[in-house]
Structure 1
Amino acid sequence: MLVAAAAGWALSWWANERVWDALVEWFGLDLGSRPVGAVHFFFYDTVKIFLLLLGLMFAVGMLRASLDLERARGFLEGRGLTAGLVLAVFLGAVTPFCSCSSIPLFIGFVAAGIPLSVTLTFLIASPLVSEIAAIMIGDQFGWGIAVAYVAAGSAISILIGWAFSRFDLERWVEDLVKTGRVASLRDGDTKPTLADRVDAALAESKDIFSDVWKWVLLGVGLGAVIHGWVPEDFFARYAGPDDPFAVVVATVAGIPLYVNGAGVVPVGEALWAKGMSLGTVMAFMMSSIALSIPQAVMLRRVLKPPLLALYFGAVSVGIMALGFLFNLFG
């Protein structure tokens, strides 16, 4: 049964984009037009995040029900905070998630009891240290700049994670990711059977899904409306090379755009060719990749407002600092 479910999930993941592409072609629509592109993006991204939410929450639930998490946490703590943060950045770098798609795995990590500073580091690094963006930056900007991008993204993730570890942030995480069927399953002395673990993981996945799905629809809906819309004239006017606040403007303006690495790097290269400074371009691309309004909408269901504001503020300030450094030494 588990094998059949996993095969069905993998088939759904494989077919998701292909089905929506085929429907667009079948109806003779132009995917390049903004209305069609927005609708296509909404259905594709909604299904993708729903699949990630159900699949990853079930997998993490099974791990929590099957493994000795106290021993796992002890192993991680024994290696020190730095090792945990570096592992989080590495995992974030190798997972091809956008700012919204990384949220289901973040929820699973928090539910598993992994330190919040480590899970937040993963949440930053997963979209920011993008292997796709790095390759495209290397091709269009030069490989030295691509290496600097990866190093800068990794550094900001680790530094923010370390700063978060200095504070007690657990009280600002919603209860739905701390409690659940799997947690109660491990409270007893009897070792749960495979059927018990499957039932608990499935029930917990359904519980979390029922709490989060409305926020996913709202977040992806907002993202679909603004997806891919980059006002290049605005950046040329208000974030030009002579503007001392160009990095700040580019960082703040990049947040609402919800553009992934593959979509934002060509825009960044075009802005660079128009004379925008390298640090301003990097700040724009990083904020577009790492932060978004849909991400904030979805995260609000699992993070309370103070932590959500702290997360967005810290990442934004870090990106601005990197932009100024790129301008200074680039």
Structure 2
Amino acid sequence: MELLQHEWIYIRYYFLVQLGQLAPYWVLGIVLGSIISVFAKDTIHSRFAGLRDSKLGIWGVIPASVLGIASPLCMYGTIPLAASFSRQGMRDDWLAAFMMSSVLLNPQLILYSTALGPVALTVRILSSIFCGMIAGLLVHFCFSKKQFFNFNGFEPRASHDTDPNMFLRLLKNIGRNFKATGGYFLLGILLSAIFQRYVPSEAFADLFVNNEAFGVLMAATIGVPLYVCGGGTIPLLQQWLVSGMSMGSAAAFMITGPATKITNLGAVKIVLGMKHFIFYLAYVMIFALITGLLVNLVI
């Protein structure tokens, strides 16, 4: 009993220390993310819709990818939106770029990720943009002669931000975000505290530090089952980086995690069909591995 109490004191200490470090980023991310969702979401999506009448051609994958990470919607909000754009004549390669980058990153997660430091934040933003762009290019060159998406049955979702009072609308959006991410955020900090207490630094170094190529592969692989919520993985990533994880391994985890999140895969499979779904999974893993290795060479 005394041993359990002793261990709990250590875990509680690590928990409270990291909670104090990360809570401001989490709160700021929710507040600013909600502001963007309430006041700028329609503008962002209108900008993307406006690309339809442009003459950018294949170069349209660049703004499409950038606008994808600017969109505050989750996957289940992005797919019906993309379905609406598709019915209006939006090109599949631009949709692929928009949806891919939107899966990987959003304004709220960008603000969370500032807790990882400027280098990790820059790597995350650039890798998400390039992942979207290359996905669009692959769709353009490999699937130009046939339809890539199947949006049948997906209709635009009713917006939750309908309160006529803008201040109340914002407060309700903030409340929903706290409710949706709070449990995962605290769980991530608890797992990080347990990691600090019980994972030997030597064992971690053998996996992720001494062999960077193997570390990238491991990080890309564990991102598939471990990633549940973006905010919930920030505490773990922060501690892993402090413990010596290479930036390339972190980059691989930040790509495969959100792209293969279990709650997203069902909808992605419906939209893509089995053949294109396998293509999607292979692309995510290959891009994550190559990105991780390149980041390790540069940083």
Aligned counterpart, 1:123: 99
The alpha-carbon deviation at position 72 of structure 1 amounts to 7.3
Aligned counterpart, 1:53: none
2:114 is the alignment partner of 1:145 = no
Whole-Å Cα distance in 1 between the matches of residues 119 and 245 of structure 2? 19
2:250 is the alignment partner of 1:263 = no
Aligned counterpart, 1:160: 135
The alpha-carbon deviation at position 89 of structure 1 amounts to 1.5
* Matched residue SS, 1:161: helix
2:255 is the alignment partner of 1:286 = yes
Deviations 1:213-243 (A, max 9, x none): xxxxxxxxxxx9xx76779559938842123
Aligned counterpart, 1:277: 246
Deviations 1:237-295 (A, max 9, x none): 88421233221221122123343332222210111112221211221123222332221
Shift in alpha-carbon separation, 1:254–1:100, aligned structure 2, 3 A: farther
Query: Which residues in structure 2 correspond to 1:172-251 (within 5 Å)?
Result: 172-174=148-150, 176=152, 236=204, 239-243=207-211, 244-251=213-220
2:276 is the alignment partner of 1:327 = no
Deviations 1:123-176 (A, max 9, x none): 1111323333333333332x2432232122212211221122102264453372
Q: TM-score, normalised by structure 2?
A: 0.61
Kept in 2: contact 1:99–1:290 (CA 8 A): no
Superposed CA RMSD: 3.6
- Where do 5+ consecutive residues of structure 2 fail to align? 1-40, 158-180
Identical pairs, percent = 21
2:53 is the alignment partner of 1:85 = no
Shift in alpha-carbon separation, 1:251–1:97, aligned structure 2, 3 A: farther
The alpha-carbon deviation at position 100 of structure 1 amounts to 4.2
Whole-Å Cα distance in 1 between the matches of residues 248 and 240 of structure 2? 12
The alpha-carbon deviation at position 99 of structure 1 amounts to 4.1
Shift in alpha-carbon separation, 1:329–1:293, aligned structure 2, 3 A: same
Q: Give the residue type in structure 2 aligned to 1:250.
A: A
Shift in alpha-carbon separation, 1:306–1:90, aligned structure 2, 3 A: same
Kept in 1: contact 2:97–2:133 (CA 8 A): yes
Whole-Å Cα distance in 2 between the matches of residues 127 and 154 of structure 1? 11
Aligned counterpart, 1:20: none
Whole-Å Cα distance in 2 between the matches of residues 112 and 315 of structure 1? 28
Whole-Å Cα distance in 1 between the matches of residues 291 and 98 of structure 2? 19
Whole-Å Cα distance in 1 between the matches of residues 256 and 136 of structure 2? 17
Kept in 2: contact 1:99–1:291 (CA 8 A): no
Kept in 2: contact 1:251–1:284 (CA 8 A): yes
Aligned length: 219
Whole-Å Cα distance in 1 between the matches of residues 295 and 153 of structure 2? 38
Shift in alpha-carbon separation, 1:125–1:148, aligned structure 2, 3 A: same
Q: TM-score, normalised by structure 1?
A: 0.56
